[in-house]
């Protein structure tokens, strides 16, 4: 396991609680989600048909893809409906200055 | 539940397949038999009138993947029809002459395209199964001019696919606008405008009286003249496959009658999907929905009830259609004859139309605003009060309507 940490252009100040945003990191489309102050990073492609998840909706902990209404828990990445789906998670950390970094390592 | 050891599902569409998956998902380890009329494992139908025709892969995911049935000990009977139900002995008979006993039976036989007498032959295509779609995909490519009879979802999507493949397409629609039943006249006109702008010859208010087939080409006869084409796609609605249920003595109206638990009039027998007409609290009349998402949700709900689990079905109905770069989505059950509240712009083809019942949203139809539909779906499910003014104001996110205090605190 080799970590590949990349600083993103997103600062925690720009990603409010309940918000999400898409960034390109190391060629990957990454979704950054702020749930109750904790930032999570996932592949921005819905596991169903690869639609961009940032065009969907975040309500509390529930992330909904706008294409076909697949729902995910934005904290665990696990599917809610259908419940056997799962988001691809990336490592994610917030620096002292608020900079959000993502690990795109294998 | 301990005495329920044999589950039988008739119909390998979205509802039946989702039900089988749900049974195993909830740990049911008894016998499951899935009767499929087609010769392929269950698949998703929505792409058949869209991506499939364009050879664009549309990966599935809502239904079990290939091979799942074998791995999960499902007795999958492909190319087999149920020919009779005997509720007295709890068994069904199959087209191969065998008999299968059940403790719980789910009927998910779906619908079939409504066929117009005299409209047949090699150049006339109806679309329901993957075999239909394979044939249509081949014949569209060979055609120059594709005529489509019916301006519903199948007709509109087929015309869009033909246009994308560089073919001339003509839609013949008896009603005054496209998607007239689903969207109503005003929004239906917007869709007609989209197709016309893409080069489709949209002819509304025209009745087709017959066809004349020749060698290679054909002529469609309408009340407004004749149209030469190479291919006629017919999408004029469907007929629910209720014969099996009727013969078994189940209550059948415009579909198999079920309650909020997907239970039919005979104990131990359930129905779900396109074939089921459901009586739900809070609805003026019974509801029969022919959309993929509803079939999946109803199939899963029926499975839970077969196991003695689960709540009444209360999911908000939802559907989508893609035509060209446009996405139509809807949530709730629409009475499109009634007036609506508009958010956004019809001319810019970016809007959501809301139907209200007092201060509650009853349904929404959106063009190119899927996020509105997600929010509205929540507002519908919660029965949250709203005003027409709030909905019309595009500067107020719908999300804020459920959380006004938090919005104030954030800003």
- For chain A, the average pLDDT equals 92
B408 pLDDT above the threshold of 70: no
CA distance B238 to A2: 56
Percent composition of chain B: helix, strand, coil (DSSP 3-state, to 5): 30, 30, 40
Strand pairing partners for B166?
Answer: none
Which range, of B104-118, B306-320, B348-362, averages the lowest pLDDT?
B306-320
**Domain assignment of residue B220, yes or no:** yes
Domain identity same for B229 and B145:
yes
A88 exposure class (CB count in 10 Å sphere: 0-12, 13-18, 19+): middle
Most confident of A1-15, A48-62, B263-277: B263-277
CA-angle at B45, arms to B121 and B195, nearest 5°:
70
Per DSSP bridges, beta strands B145-149 and B168-173 are parallel
**Domain assignment of residue B291, yes or no:** yes
User: In Å, what is the CA distance from B268 to each residue of A84, B43, B74, B245, B297?
Assistant: 28, 27, 20, 13, 20
Taking a C-beta distance cutoff of 8 angstroms, is the pair A17, A34 a contact?
Answer: yes
* Residue B339: other Cβ atoms inside 10 A: 12
Q: CB of A67 within 8 Å of any CB in chain B?
A: yes
Query: Domains of chain A, with CATH numbers?
Result: 5-88 (2.102.10.10)
Chain B residue numbers touching A55 (CB-CB < 8 A): 370-371
Boundary-marking domain end, from B193, B210, B234: B234
Q: What DSSP element (H or E) covers B197?
A: helix B180-197
* Average pLDDT estimate for A5-31: 93
Question: Closest approach of chain A CAs to the CA of B375, in angstroms?
Answer: 8
pLDDT > 90: what percent of chain A?
71
Q: What is the pLDDT of residue B60?
A: 61
CA distance B367 to B348: 10
| CB nearest to B370's CB, from A66, A82, A84 | A66
Domain identity same for B76 and B19:
yes
Name the interface residues of B facing A (CB cutoff 8 Å).
Answer: 25, 58-59, 61-62, 293, 318, 320, 370-371, 373-375, 377-378, 399, 410
**Domain assignment of residue B14, yes or no:** yes
CATH number of the CATH domain containing B402: 3.30.390.30
Domain identity same for B96 and B242:
yes
Question: Closest approach of chain B CAs to the CA of A58, in angstroms?
Answer: 10
Asked if this assembly's ipTM is beyond 0.85, the reply is no
Q: What is the pLDDT of residue B313?
A: 86
Q: What is the pLDDT of residue B219?
A: 95
Q: CB of A60 within 8 Å of any CB in chain B?
A: no
User: B377, A56: Cβ pair inside 8 Å?
Assistant: no
Q: Which of residues 82 through 101 in chain A touch B, CB cutoff 8 A?
A: 82-85
B411 pLDDT above the threshold of 60: no
What predicted TM-score, i.e. pTM, was given to this entire model? 0.88
Domain identity same for B199 and B124:
yes
Which candidate in A19, A34, A49, A56 is best for mutational testing of the B interface (most B CBs within 10 A)?
A49
Higher-scoring residue by pLDDT: B344, B314:
B344
User: B59, A48: Cβ pair inside 8 Å?
Assistant: yes
Residue B173's closest CA among B140, B147, B136? B147
CA distance B106 to B271: 5
User: B374, A69: Cβ pair inside 8 Å?
Assistant: yes
**Residue B398's Cα: distance from chain center in Å?**
27
Q: What is the pLDDT of residue B341?
A: 97
Domain identity same for B202 and B123:
yes
CA distance A92 to B15: 39
Q: Which of residues 21 through 40 in chain A touch B, CB cutoff 8 A?
A: none
**How many domains does the structure of chain B reveal?**
3
Q: Show the DSSP H helices in B213-369 as ranges.
A: 243-247, 292-306
* Average pLDDT estimate for B35-56: 95
Domain identity same for B153 and B185:
yes
- For chain B, the average pLDDT equals 93
For residue B337, name the pLDDT band (cuts at 50, 70, 90).
Answer: confident
| CB nearest to B371's CB, from A47, A57, A68 | A57
Chain B residue numbers touching A82 (CB-CB < 8 A): 61-62
Taking a C-beta distance cutoff of 8 angstroms, is the pair B69, B24 a contact?
Answer: no
Q: What is the pLDDT of residue B409?
A: 41
Which range, of A9-13, B19-23, B162-166, B269-273, averages the lowest pLDDT?
A9-13
Question: Closest approach of chain B CAs to the CA of A66, in angstroms?
Answer: 5
Question: Closest approach of chain A CAs to the CA of B13, in angstroms?
Answer: 17
Domain identity same for B24 and B73:
yes
Q: pLDDT for B213-225, tens place per residue?
A: 877 789 999 998 9
pLDDT > 70: what percent of chain B?
97
Q: CB of A49 within 8 Å of any CB in chain B?
A: yes
Q: What is the pLDDT of residue B61?
A: 73
Q: What is the pLDDT of residue A2?
A: 80
Q: pLDDT for A30-82, tens place per residue?
A: 999 999 999 999 999 999 888 999 989 998 899 999 988 899 999 999 999 88
CATH number of the CATH domain containing B230: 3.50.50.60
Q: What is the pLDDT of residue B152?
A: 96
User: B399, A83: Cβ pair inside 8 Å?
Assistant: no
B388 exposure class (CB count in 10 Å sphere: 0-12, 13-18, 19+): middle
* Residue B223: other Cβ atoms inside 10 A: 11
* Average pLDDT estimate for B357-362: 93
Chain A residue numbers touching B47 (CB-CB < 8 A): none
For residue B403, name the pLDDT band (cuts at 50, 70, 90).
Answer: low
* Average pLDDT estimate for B220-245: 95
- Tell me which residue range forms the domain holding B25: 6-112+238-306
* Average pLDDT estimate for B231-247: 97
Q: Which residue is closest to A71 within chain B, CA to CA?
A: B374
SS3 call for B188: helix
* Average pLDDT estimate for B54-71: 86
Taking a C-beta distance cutoff of 8 angstroms, is the pair B222, B172 a contact?
Answer: yes
B24 pLDDT above the threshold of 90: yes
Domain identity same for B48 and B104:
yes
Chain B residue numbers touching A56 (CB-CB < 8 A): 370-371, 374
Domain identity same for B277 and B214:
no
Residue B100's closest CA among B38, B10, B37? B10
Boundary-marking domain end, from B196, B217, B234: B234
The greatest distance separating any two alpha carbons of chain B, rounded to the nearest whole angstrom, comes to: 72
Q: What is the pLDDT of residue B2?
A: 52
């Amino acid at each position: 396991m080799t970590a590949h940490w990349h600083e993103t252009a997103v600062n925690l100040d720009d990603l409010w609680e309940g918000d999400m945003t898409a960034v390109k990191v190391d060629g990957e489309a990454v979704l950054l989600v702020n749930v109750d102050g904790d930032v999570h990073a996932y592949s921005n492609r819905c596991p169903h048909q690869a639609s961009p998840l940032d065009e969907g909706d975040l309500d509390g902990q529930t992330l909904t893809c706008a294409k076909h209404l697949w729902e995910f828990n934005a904290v665990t990445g696990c599917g809610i409906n259908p419940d056997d789906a799962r988001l691809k998670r990336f490592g994610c950390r917030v620096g002292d200055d608020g900079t959000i970094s993502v690990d795109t390592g294998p | 539940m301990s005495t329920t050891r044999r589950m039988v599902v008739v119909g390998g569409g979205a509802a039946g397949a989702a039900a089988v998956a749900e049974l195993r998902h909830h740990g049911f380890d008894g016998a499951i038999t899935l009767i499929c009329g087609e010769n392929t494992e269950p698949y998703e139908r929505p792409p058949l009138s869209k991506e499939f025709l364009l050879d664009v892969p549309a990966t599935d995911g809502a239904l079990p993947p290939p091979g799942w049935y074998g791995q999960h000990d499902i007795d999958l009977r492909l190319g087999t029809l149920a020919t009779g139900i005997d509720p007295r002995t709890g068994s069904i008979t199959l087209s191969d002459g065998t008999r299968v006993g059940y403790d719980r039976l789910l009927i998910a036989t779906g619908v079939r395209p409504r066929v117009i007498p005299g409209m047949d032959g090699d150049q006339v295509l109806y679309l329901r199964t993957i075999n239909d779609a394979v044939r249509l995909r081949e014949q569209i490519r060979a055609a120059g001019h594709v005529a489509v009879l019916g301006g519903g979802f199948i007709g509109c999507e087929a015309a869009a696919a033909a246009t994308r493949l560089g073919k001339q397409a003509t839609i013949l629609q008896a009603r005054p606008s496209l998607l007239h039943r689903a969207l109503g006249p005003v929004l239906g006109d917007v869709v007609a405008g989209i197709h016309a702008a893409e080069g489709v010859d949209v002819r509304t208010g025209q009745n087709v009286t017959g066809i004349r087939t020749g060698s290679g080409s054909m002529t469609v006869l309408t009340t407004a003249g004749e149209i030469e084409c190479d291919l006629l796609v017919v999408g004029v609605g469907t007929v629910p496959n209720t014969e099996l249920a009727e013969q078994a003595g189940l209550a059948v109206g415009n579909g198999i009658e079920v309650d909020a638990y997907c239970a039919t009039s005979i104990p131990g027998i359930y129905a779900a999907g396109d074939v089921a007409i459901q009586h739900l609290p809070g609805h003026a009349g019974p509801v029969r929905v022919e959309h993929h998402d509803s079939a999946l949700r109803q199939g899963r709900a029926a499975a839970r009830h077969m196991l003695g689990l689960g709540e009444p079905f209360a999911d908000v109905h939802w559907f989508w259609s893609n035509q060209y770069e446009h996405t139509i989505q809807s949530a709730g059950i629409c009475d499109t004859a009634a007036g609506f509240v508009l958010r956004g712009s019809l001319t810019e083809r970016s809007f959501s139309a809301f139907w209200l019942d007092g201060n509650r949203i009853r349904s929404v139809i959106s063009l190119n605003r899927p996020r509105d539909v997600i929010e509205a779906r929540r507002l519908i499910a919660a029965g949250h009060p709203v005003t027409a003014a709030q909905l019309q104001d595009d500067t107020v996110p719908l999300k804020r309507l459920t959380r006004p205090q938090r919005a104030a605190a954030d800003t």
